[in-house]
Amino acid sequence: MDENQFFREATLRICGSLHLRQAMEQTLEYIQGVVPADCLYIGLYDPDRKVGRTLIHIAPAHWPRFPETLVISDEAQERLLFEWSSKPKFGLLNDIREEDPAFRDLLLMMWPGNASLLHTDLELDSRRIGVLLLAVEGRHQYREEHARLMSLLNEPFSVALANALQHQEVLRLKEMLEDENRYLHTELRNVSGDTIIGADFGLKGVMEMIRQVAPMESPVLLLGETGTGKELLANAVHAASTRRDGPFIKVNCGGLPESLLDSELFGHEKGAFTGASARKRGRFERAHGGTIFLDEIGELGQAAQVKLLRVLQHREIERVGGTETIPVDVRIISATHRNLEEMVRQGTFREDLWFRLNVFPIMIPPLRQRPQDLPALVDHLIRKKTKEIKITRPVRLAPRSLEVLRRHPWPGNVRELQNLVERSLIQAQANPLGDLVLDPDPGGTPSSAAQPGRARETEIPPLDEAVARHIIRALEKTGGRVMGPRGAAELLGVNPSTLRGKMRRLRLLQEARQIRGRP
């Protein structure tokens, strides 16, 4: 066989495609005309992890199947390390039975007992990058001339393997980038564009604490009732920190099922469980170099608290189904509406986790404790909601609405106010010429969450509010009828036209229609 022609023809096939399997199938087909070969195998060996990884295995269907990852025993590891540390060379193994027992057992897992093997370590730029094996059924099939011919192809095989590995890495990084883009686009759709209303008034003390802690790396714990805007303030801490250019990843601890918690927080490897069709990066890995916001941290179960504590202590994670330890550099911001200190006393929240999270607590006051912020909040929410609902006409707030809002206890805080504004805007479209009425307690029903020591019934309401309630009670008694026998005008002792005028001024005509429509 002309060695130059063999080298040229084999090299054209070895380097003919970035898809390694396609190139190796063409190469094996050519080599079989010169060297005995039923099988071609290319693999990687990681001595630190004691595992081998199969890249290419082309063999007859009745031969043993190669596992994608092969765990190496300690005895076989010693033999491989000895060969790995020696100078790269081709070797012949014409009878597996002649090997020592530990290494023979490993070979019989992968090859027929009567196979002959021809192998070499692939090296590029003085760096060992893999191993190549040819195998054929039958003992004593290889000779030194076969090894000499194959030694000519060491460099082309090494170049092809290095190119294929780099190509796979590019594809992996591209897939990771696409996955990251999909995730961040989803997150961006959920990010609130709100500004912090009340930063100079009711939240002045909170903002001062945020300015103090933001440049640090210390964990921050945001405490406050539901709806006080903890996520918005967590965003403010991140935006004012040195990590502002890094990711801001939110985790709703109360919304994660226990069965999916590990996968969501730490990611998983392909095949780690049913449905894991691809590798997935977890929230901590995505937050690397930035901030992770653990919302409703008090909802985590005991098992999840242990895993979270380990991440906070060692700053490293392991994906589900993986063995690699991945370092993570994240800043922790957590939030809860629950009393964690009381939960620690009751044994439902770990004390060591509490101490790690409670480095810099910030208490966010409820809306009822900062009524001075209501005018700015209402104005901001009206502008925001009219844009969302696509209301183009100017919206004017009805007189005395702010006084009504100031007396309300706001158990749902800013979120309740936001819902009230949106609901009132939707209802106001039926009467586009009227002012916007904001009443969190329509009909004057006493609030179950009234402020301590202040019962709604004992308050003296504004005159218009008292008149409106009186008219509504009369309408309810008459089934919404205004005039005629047993109508509201007769019941109240006023002229029907006068009553209709008052109802129009107090925005009660829609209320009368609703009462008439009740069964």
How far apart are the two ends of the chain, measured CA to CA in Å? 101
Q: Say whether both 351 and 376 belong to one domain.
A: no
| Model pLDDT for residues 137-157, shown as the tens digit of each residue | 998 898 888 888 888 888 888
Which of 364, 391, 419 terminates a domain? The answer is: 364
Rounded CA-CA distance 152/359 in Å is 65
Q: Say whether both 417 and 300 belong to one domain.
A: no
pLDDT score for 447: 39
Rounded CA-CA distance 421/416 in Å is 9
pLDDT score for 310: 87
Q: What percent of the chain has pLDDT over 70?
A: 84
* DSSP character string of 388-403: HHT--S---BPTTHHH
| 46 touches 53 (CB < 8 A) | yes
In Å, how far are 224, 402, 408, 438 from 448, measured between CA atoms?
20, 21, 11, 19
Q: Say whether both 334 and 381 belong to one domain.
A: no
128 vs 303, more confident:
303
Chain centroid to Cα 468, Å, comes to 50
Segment 413-436 mean pLDDT:
82
Query: Does the pLDDT of residue 266 top 50, yes or no?
Result: yes
Q: Which of 49-53, 66-70, 269-273, 307-311 has the lowest mean pLDDT?
A: 49-53
Joined together, the tokens standing for residue 268 give 């998983």
Q: Say whether both 359 and 375 belong to one domain.
A: no
Which of 166, 200, 231 terminates a domain? The answer is: 166
511 vs 401, more confident:
401
Has residue 177 been placed in a domain? Answer: no
Rounded CA-CA distance 230/374 in Å is 18
| 292 touches 249 (CB < 8 A) | yes
Which of 348, 364, 380 terminates a domain? The answer is: 364
pLDDT score for 302: 85
Number of domains in the chain: 3
Q: Using CB atoms within 10 Å of the CB of residue 106, give its burial: 0 to 12 exposed, 13 to 18 middle, 19+ buried.
A: buried
pLDDT score for 434: 65
Has residue 387 been placed in a domain? Answer: yes
| Model pLDDT for residues 197-225, shown as the tens digit of each residue | 767 777 888 889 999 999 999 999 999 88
Q: Say whether both 359 and 388 belong to one domain.
A: no
Would you put residue 224 in left (φ > 0), alpha (ψ -120 to 50) or beta? left
Mean pLDDT for all residues in the chain: 81
Can you give the residue range of the structural domain that contains 122?
Answer: 3-166
Has residue 193 been placed in a domain? Answer: no
Query: Does the pLDDT of residue 36 top 70, yes or no?
Result: yes
Q: Say whether both 159 and 63 belong to one domain.
A: yes
| Model pLDDT for residues 343-398, shown as the tens digit of each residue | 999 999 999 999 999 999 999 998 888 888 888 888 888 888 888 888 877 787 88
Q: Say whether both 351 and 394 belong to one domain.
A: no
Joined together, the tokens standing for residue 239 give 């935006």
344 vs 430, more confident:
344
pLDDT score for 204: 84
364 vs 171, more confident:
364
Q: Say whether both 142 and 119 belong to one domain.
A: yes
Domain with residue 472: its CATH number is: 1.10.8.60
| Model pLDDT for residues 439-454, shown as the tens digit of each residue | 887 655 433 333 433 4
* β-strand partners of 43: 54, 131
pLDDT score for 331: 93
Q: Say whether both 411 and 497 belong to one domain.
A: yes
pLDDT score for 453: 39
Has residue 231 been placed in a domain? Answer: yes
Has residue 211 been placed in a domain? Answer: no
Nearest to 363 by CA among 221, 212, 253, 252: 221
Has residue 66 been placed in a domain? Answer: yes
Instruction: Write down the residue that tokens 């590995």 correspond to.
Output: 165
Which of helix, strand or coil describes residue 33? coil
pLDDT score for 189: 46
Domain with residue 88: its CATH number is: 3.30.450.40
Q: Which residues contact 510 (CB under 8 A, 6 or more apart)?
A: 427, 430, 431
456 vs 326, more confident:
326
Q: Say whether both 15 and 30 belong to one domain.
A: yes
pLDDT score for 51: 67
3-state secondary structure string, 339-381? CHHHHHHHCCCCHHHHHHHCCEEEECCCHHHCHHHHHHHHHHH
pLDDT band per the 50, 70, 90 thresholds, residue 19: confident
| Model pLDDT for residues 59-88, shown as the tens digit of each residue | 998 888 877 776 666 666 565 555 555 554
Q: Using CB atoms within 10 Å of the CB of residue 373, give its burial: 0 to 12 exposed, 13 to 18 middle, 19+ buried.
A: buried
Sign of CA dihedral 257, 259, 262, 268: negative
Q: Say whether both 111 and 226 belong to one domain.
A: no
Has residue 119 been placed in a domain? Answer: yes
| Model pLDDT for residues 315-324, shown as the tens digit of each residue | 888 888 887 8
Q: Say whether both 66 and 132 belong to one domain.
A: yes
Query: Does the pLDDT of residue 267 top 70, yes or no?
Result: yes
Has residue 389 been placed in a domain? Answer: yes
Rounded CA-CA distance 305/302 in Å is 5
pLDDT score for 86: 55
Domain with residue 277: its CATH number is: 3.40.50.300
pLDDT score for 192: 45
pLDDT score for 28: 92
